[in-house]
Amino acid sequence: MTKTFPENFLWGGATAANQIEGAWDEGGRGPATSDFARLITKEIRDTEGAFDTHVPHNAASREMVADMKAHPENWELPKRRGIDFYHTYQEDIRLFAEMGFKVFRMSLSWSRIFPKGDDPQPNEEGLLFYDAVFDELHKYGIEPMVTLSHFDTPLHLAEAYNGFASRHTVEAFVRYAETVMKRYKGKVKYWLTFNEINNVLSNPFTSSGVILGGAPEPLSCNPYLGNWQLKFQTVHNQFIASALAVKKLHEIDPEAKMGNMLCRLENYAESCKPEDQLQVMFEDHFNWFFTDVQANGEYPYYMKRFFDENNIHIEMEPDDLKILKDGAVDFITISYYMTYIMRYKGSPVPQPTGRLVSDIKNPYLPKSEWGWTIDPIGLRVTLNRIYDRYHKPIFISENGLGAVDHFDENGHIQDDYRIDYMRAHVEQLREAIADGVDVFGYAWWGPIDLISSGTSEMTKRYGMIYVDQDDYGRGSKKRSRKKSFYYYKKLIASNGADLENDAVIEVS
């Protein structure tokens, strides 16, 4: 069998509005939860702990939000400035087109459309901005894939209703979704509901607008600490919002498709011990849960015991189960960055780890500067497992390498480490397609340097396009091409056939 990529395979890149747009208070935009995500530098990580519950990378309490609003000068809040895509989108899209992008996965800022999230009328200036972005993409033949909510809940909904803990926010989301799906009918064929919906558990503030306050126990940034009842009720409400958005899209534009988005966590057992295999099974269930509901339209059997043993009782309205069944997504999208090692944690129902980076290191895999394992074969494994489970088309909506980039003596960034990462993962993607997995596209996370989601820093760079800006917003914001820019351009031009690392930086 010839190992090739399908004709019309969608190569491209992925970003989020809250990490690139900036202009947080321009064009009628209202404040969003992402505007209150603090900068976590290496010095803070080294001294206070990267994701310690005492150092939340995203604000998680009313007191912290209030202090950030009252004294912004005391906080570094880089997502407010982004990389100024709001003003530079034409230049940036032109660079994406030069690479040969077929798709650009992006998100809308909900509070740019509805400043408070539930306003009587949408903000026309915000709608016009995205009209202009979509028109610019289509000028170059680039298909937009649009995420409705990417860690960017309007702050008013968080403060007044505790975000998606309330059905009011569900209603506001569906109205927002209906507004933009009608407005951009014919301009957007692919939509996603919630970015990495499983991160509701670890980032309740930014991803779902839930703020600590009045909860019977702390709403920790650790997904498996704090008020589980509140977190899983929030998850349920987002499931309902997603399903209702799917139904609306099918009514508004039968030709368009709606997908989900899961942060895929592929797990390996530490040993051959059956107990370690049990832990892997449990961790997998906990990850699959989100896509099982969104793709199959029903709660899976295995969560009942977990809910019972942790005193979690989901409050449902009479039609909720039918809404879920009628609102299954059309395709699956995932972010894939690394794999994890699991060890049995005891008890009949093992407790999940709840960490982004596994405490147990895999001796067979290299790691990034941020401790993320690099496992291209894991991508092939997980794609096969997803397709075997759902038999729905798959789009890789995020894959990438965060690294510290340095200029050489000629003022160029020779980022062969990024090229090696991309090449190895695309090779395994090609193998998965040869296995028979239906994958229709691949988006590199952060084709242009952007603000880190987790730490709000610029030091951790993913882009093939360099942005002259540091963690504190200093710099010219000038864009320049890295070596990986030319590599990806060559790869796309060959539809994935040419993976040799022989690209060179072109001097203009």
- Name every residue whose Cβ is closer than 8 Å to that of residue 181 and which is 6 or more positions away in sequence: 188, 191, 245, 248, 249, 252, 253, 256
Q: Cβ neighbours of residue 391 under 8 Å, at least 6 residues apart? A: none
Residue with the two structure tokens 């242009």: 448
Tens digit of pLDDT at every position of the chain (508 positions): 557 899 999 999 999 999 999 999 999 999 999 999 999 877 776 776 544 444 455 777 788 888 999 999 999 999 999 999 999 999 999 999 999 999 999 999 999 999 999 999 999 999 999 999 999 999 999 999 999 999 999 999 999 999 999 999 999 999 999 999 999 999 999 999 999 999 888 888 888 999 865 444 444 545 555 578 898 999 999 999 999 999 999 999 999 999 999 999 999 999 999 999 999 999 999 899 999 999 999 999 999 999 998 899 999 999 999 999 999 999 999 999 999 999 988 877 777 665 666 678 899 999 999 889 999 999 999 999 999 999 999 999 999 999 999 999 999 999 999 999 999 999 999 999 999 999 999 999 999 999 999 889 999 999 999 999 999 999 999 999 999 999 999 999 999 999 999 999 997 6
Integer Cα distance of 195 and 200 in angstroms: 10
Query: Which residues participate in catalysis according to the annotation?
Result: 398
Strand partners, 465: 448, 481
* Sheet with 262-263, edge to edge strand ranges: 257-259, 190-194, 143-149, 103-107, 10-14, 439-445, 394-398, 332-335, 262-263
β pairing state of 266-269 and 339-342: parallel
Distance CA 253, CA 268 (A): 41
d(CA 368, CA 372): 5
Q: What are the C-alpha distances in Å from 271 to residues 280, 283, 333, 343?
A: 11, 15, 30, 8
* Token pair in block for residue 212: 């600590």
Long-range contacts, stretch 360-367, CB < 8 angstroms, 24+ apart: 360/270, 362/268, 365/339
What is the CATH code for 10-494? 3.20.20.80
Query: Tokens 């990490």 identify what position?
Result: 19
Q: Please say whether the beta carbons of 357 and 447 come within 8 A.
A: no
Structure tokens at 31: 């404040």
Measured CA to CA, the distance from residue 354 to residue 262 in angstroms comes to: 15
The pair of structure tokens assigned to 348 is 């009949």
> Do 397 and 446 form a contact (C-beta atoms < 8 A)?
no
CB 259 within 8 A of CB 242: no
Short-list 376, 359, 366, 398, CA closest to 107: 398
**What are 28's two structure tokens?**
């009628």
Please give the structure tokens belonging to residue 422: 């991309």
Q: What's the half-sphere exposure (Cβ side, CA atoms, 13 Å) at 130?
A: 28
